[in-house]
Amino acid sequence: MALPKKGTRGITVGEQRYRWVISPAAKGLLALTIQHNEGIGQLIRVYVKSDVNDFWAEYPLVQHLDMRVIKPADVAAIIEEAIKLGWQPDKKGTPLSFDFIGSTLVKKGIHSNTGTGIV
pLDDT tens, 22-56?
988 877 788 999 999 988 899 999 999 877 656 55
Instruction: List phi, psi (to 5°) of 45.
Output: -125, 125
Does 33 fall in a domain?
A: yes
Does 88 fall in a domain?
A: yes
Does 20 fall in a domain?
A: yes
Q: How many CB atoms lie within 10 A of CB 23?
A: 11
Does 113 fall in a domain?
A: no
Does 119 fall in a domain?
A: no
Does 3 fall in a domain?
A: no
Domain tally, the chain: 1
Does 117 fall in a domain?
A: no
- Domain span at 86: 9-107
Q: How far apart are CA 118 and CA 106, in angstroms?
A: 9
Does 118 fall in a domain?
A: no
Nearest to residue 68, comparing CAs of 92, 47, 50, 93? 50
Beta strands in the chain (DSSP E): 9-13, 16-26, 29-36, 44-49, 96-101, 104-107
Task: Judge if pTM exceeds 0.75.
Answer: yes
The pLDDT tens digits of the residues spanning 56-99 come to: 555 565 565 555 678 899 999 999 999 999 999 999 989 999 99
